[in-house]
A and B are shown apart, each in its own frame.
Chain A
Amino acid sequence: MVKNTLNIGRISEGFVLDHIQAGKSMDIYKYLRLDKLDCCVAIIKNAKSNKMGKKDIIKIECPLEMIDLDILGFIDHNITVNIIENEKIVDKMSLKLPKKITNVIRCKNPRCITSIEQELDHVFILTDPEREEYRCKYCEEKYHRK
């Protein structure tokens, strides 16, 4: 008999990103540039969660050094990052707001030099950790989250 459940196999080395706000997993997939990686990625949407009602989960099977997770702190610091080695959780990473983010978000100010200068990185600096405020390094325009 086939059970009416969704099973995804264990991973031997990599990350399990848990407690992702439901519906946000594809954004994270994009921010982490997982489409560029030749590795096994499982995205679980709308999984049941006691804490959140429903949540998304991403499992990534890859060497630990392959992914820069700093950006997750910018996207949502409530995400739990489980680090997996030999099919076991060996560590849980706490997320912090990164001081600087490069080429993840783009400056929307049409008067900013980033709008015309070729191959210029879009760099945002954490200017107010309390309010989680980022500003463009060049024009100081505030980044507005959606």
Chain B
Amino acid sequence: MRHLMSPLDFSVEELDKLLDLANDIENNPAKYAHACAGKKLATLFYEPSTRTRLSHEAAMLNLGGSVLGFSSADSSSAAKGESVSDTIRTVACYADIVAMRHPKEGAPMVAAAHSSIPIINAGDGGHQHPTQTLTDLLTIRSLKGRLNNLTIGLCGDLKFGRTVHSLIQALVRYDNLNFVLISPEELRLPTYIRHDVLRRNNVPYKEVVRMEEALPDLDILYMTRVQKERFFNEEDYVRMKDFYILDKKKMELASKDMLVLHPLPRVNEISVEVDDDPRAVYFKQAKYGVYVRMALILTLLDIHVD
């Protein structure tokens, strides 16, 4: 039995297989419509995350399975002080697979250690969010046709943005990539990612503060939101939140086939006027998020569809 704790849990070959399966699901949804009939997904969300929860639930429903769960700690036994390990042992009696979001880092790993059914880490604090990374990889591979030979700009909160950290860790396994790290000084990518991940893997990168400077060279622009919940100080948040706003004018600087990705939700870092630009693929990305979660559920449940 396998769990998904980190995007690096899958080798490059396993990842290729998973993304191939996701693309087959995209192209032949009817073939998979009953693949999980009789199976149940439990979504254990100890903190609210509408998008992630709904995309897991949609994935299971698309596969003909059913879903149960809770969407905040207040409505779960955690409010009564139950441990994660006890909760998971109980839930394993009711469901076949679990997607867990928890504000405490490492909580899904504790769940996996005590679970008799597969656990998907649907986000644990500022630590990992592997299904977002799988979504990003599927989006890039499906729309660009490759995960190598790319110049990728990562923009916004590179310090606290776990999606960015996970994406970099997953992408450095592919050849001939360049990263452009676009952030204010205060929100630079942490040293351990720059040194231990990028330098150690000999992946070239440059750091810039102005988005305009980077745009003409990029194949992918990955925008992120400055997350209020990661700041201890309201003043710092207010100062940082409007640092980058991608608008039509800036999009004119980019190449005609550059793609704009965003893990969503967006606040104001991408102007709504950009939404109609064919290069803006963040809503398509949300759709790929469902396909890749469908592929993940099938893979973890070891269900094969001929």
Residues of A near any B CB (own CB < 8 A): 109, 111-118, 120, 128, 136-142
| Chain B residue at minimal CB-CB distance from A114 | B106
Known contacts A111-B104, A113-B104, A113-B107; A140/B83 CB under 8 A? no
B49-97 residues at the A interface, CB under 8 angstroms: 83-85
- Contact: A111 with B105, CB < 8 Å? yes
A138–B110 touching, CB < 8 Å: yes
CB contacts under 8 Å to A, within B29-51, are: none
* CB within 8 Å for A117 and B83 given contacts A111-B103, A112-B105, A137-B106: yes
Q: Is chain B's binding surface mostly helix, strand, loop or mixed?
A: mixed
CA distance A138 to B113 in the complex (A): 11
Residues of chain A contacted by B125 (CB below 8 angstroms): 111, 139
Given A117-B110, A120-B110: A140 in contact with B104 (beta carbons within 8 A)? no
- Where chain A touches its partner, the secondary structure class is loop
- A111 / chain B contacts, CB cutoff of 8 Å: 103-105, 125-127
- Residues of the A chain whose Cβ atoms lie less than 8 Å from the Cβ of B124: 113, 139
Most B CB contacts (10 A, CB to CB) among A136, A137, A138, A142 go to A138
Q: A116-B104, A128-B196, A140-B127 are in contact. List 6 more A-B contacts (CB 8 A).
A: A109-B105, A113-B110, A115-B104, A120-B110, A137-B109, A139-B105
Query: Which residue of chain B has its CB nearest to the CB of A115?
Result: B104
> Does B102 sit within 8 A of A, measured CB to CB?
yes
A120-B110, A139-B125, A140-B127 known; A113 and B105 CB under 8 Å? yes
